[in-house]
């Protein structure tokens, strides 16, 4: 992972999700038609590159030098860490989509608190700057907009920053009423487990080969055994993984350095298999054994999912310290929970 700040590498990601629509109801491949050089153009604006990629019938997944990119026919998700300028991807993305006959219909931007906020470049210098940049970059017809900071009641833990925008026809995406997204941020990783995300001294393997070794060594491969994994190990340390399970993605990113260790996990699920999601969360926490965890759950299905999150994490020794909930255009409700554990 490149672009390390003088104070250390910024693990907390910025996440951008854009939904599109077109006149053709059978839009088919849609955004997956993007040429690789167009993807590279978008990522150059962000200041990151592709290091590995995989695809299936439903979407394409790219491991980036700074996290992940997922491309569906009518949806793009970009998640980047470090000092990347994620929001600068919006103008080229909208331009490429327009050439394909697609218009953006909703946007969601989320992030936690930066560990090294003073190292962030514009427009990520503050959430106010980010919200203003989003307001100016998105078309005016995305008229249902909301920006807020969902606080943690624990001063030592991250707050959750959310910007959401939608046009009048996509205030809630009805086809996704049973789908939820979970974003997990973990800090103060167990130092012994964190060492597993360092490459061996003298390791001459490629990042892909070393990544597969880390996946097996750490137990990440057991989190969702049904998923096709695309994993990558950075030199001298750090790890990224994208998982593909049918139309659903999962992703993990790890910054293991002492003093600012961080790991994230994100996945998509449905209300029909939320019990399985709880088991996955327990496995994730056991891989890293973090001292602090924050979880954002985005859904339109009410309380069932976030309660499952709380129950799952409490069974592995984490205590819920704060809870916040709010409603956003095009996404339904976002529940933000923070958890801590005591180490002896």
Domains and CATH numbers, the chain: 14-340 (3.60.90.10)
Residue 295 confidence class, pLDDT cut points 50, 70, 90:
very high
More confident residue, 304 or 99: 99
Q: What are phi and psi of 72, to 5 degrees?
A: -105, 170
Residues 6+ apart with CB under 8 A from 43: 49, 50, 64, 69, 89
Predicted confidence at residue 258, as pLDDT, reads 87
Q: Bridge partners of 230?
A: 242
Q: Is the pTM of this model over 0.75?
A: yes
Q: Which pLDDT score, from 0 to 100, does residue 308 have?
A: 86
Which of 8 and 140 is assigned the larger pLDDT?
A: 140
* Dist CA 77 CA 107 (whole Å): 10
pLDDT-based confidence at residue 154 (cuts at 50, 70, 90): low
Q: At what angle do helices 274-288 and 304-314 cross, to 10 degrees?
A: 40
* Helices and strands (DSSP H and E) totals, the chain: 7, 16
Give the single-character DSSP code of 64. E
Report the pLDDT value the prediction gives residue 166, as an integer from 0 to 100. Answer: 92
Task: Give the pLDDT of residue 95.
Answer: 96
Catalytically active residues, by annotation = 10, 13, 67, 81, 240, 253
Give the bridge partners for 337, in sequence order.
295, 323
Query: Which pLDDT score, from 0 to 100, does residue 3 have?
Result: 42
Query: Pick the residue with more confidence: 229 or 176?
Result: 229
What pLDDT, in 10s, does the model give residues 244-294? 999 999 999 999 998 889 999 999 987 667 678 889 999 999 999 999 999
- In this structure, are residues 321 and 339 in contact, taking their beta carbons and an 8 Å threshold? yes
User: Under 8 Å CB-to-CB from 57, ≥6 apart: which residues?
Assistant: none
pLDDT exceeds cutoff 70 at 49: yes
| Euclidean distance between CA atoms 192 and 76, whole angstroms | 36
Phi, psi of 236 (to 5 degrees): -90, -10
Residue 263 CA to residue 283 CA, distance in Å, equals 13
Mean pLDDT of the chain: 89
Least confident range from 36-45, 99-108, 300-309: namely: 300-309
The H or E element that residue 274 is part of is helix 274-288
């Amino acid at each position: 992972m490149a672009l390390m700040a003088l104070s250390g590498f910024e693990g907390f990601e910025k996440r951008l999700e854009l939904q599109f629509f077109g006149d053709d109801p059978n839009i088919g491949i849609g955004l997956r038609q993007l040429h690789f050089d167009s993807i590279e153009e978008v990522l150059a604006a962000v200041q990151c590159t592709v290091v590995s990629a995989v695809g299936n019938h439903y979407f394409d997944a790219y491991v980036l030098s700074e996290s992940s990119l997922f491309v569906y026919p009518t949806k793009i998700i970009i998640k980047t860490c470090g000092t990347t300028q994620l929001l600068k991807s919006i103008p080229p993305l909208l331009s490429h989509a327009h050439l394909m006959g697609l218009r953006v219909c909703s946007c969601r931007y989320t992030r936690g608190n930066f560990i090294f906020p003073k190292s962030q470049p514009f427009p990520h210098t503050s959430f106010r700057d980010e919200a203003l940049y989003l307001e100016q970059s998105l078309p005016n017809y995305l008229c249902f907009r909301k920006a807020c900071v969902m606080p943690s009641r624990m001063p030592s833990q991250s707050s959750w920053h959310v910007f959401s925008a939608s046009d009048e026809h996509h205030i809630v995406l009805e086809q996704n009423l049973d789908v939820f997204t979970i974003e997990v941020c973990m800090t103060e990783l167990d130092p012994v487990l964190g060492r597993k995300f360092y490459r061996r001294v003298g390791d001459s393997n490629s990042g892909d080969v070393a990544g597969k070794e880390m996946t097996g060594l750490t137990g990440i491969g057991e989190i969702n055994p049904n998923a096709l994994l695309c994993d990558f190990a950075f030199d001298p340390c750090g790890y990224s993984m994208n998982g593909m399970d049918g139309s659903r993605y999962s992703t993990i990113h790890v910054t293991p350095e002492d003093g600012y260790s961080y790991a994230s996990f994100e996945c998509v699920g449905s209300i029909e298999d939320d019990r399985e999601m709880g088991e996955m969360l327990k496995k994730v926490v056991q891989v890293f054994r973090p001292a602090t965890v924050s979880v954002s759950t985005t859904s339109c299905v009410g309380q069932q999912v976030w309660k499952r999150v709380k129950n799952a994490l409490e069974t592995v020794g984490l205590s819920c310290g704060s809870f916040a909930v709010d409603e956003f255009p095009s996404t339904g409700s976002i529940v933000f929970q923070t958890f801590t554990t005591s180490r002896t």
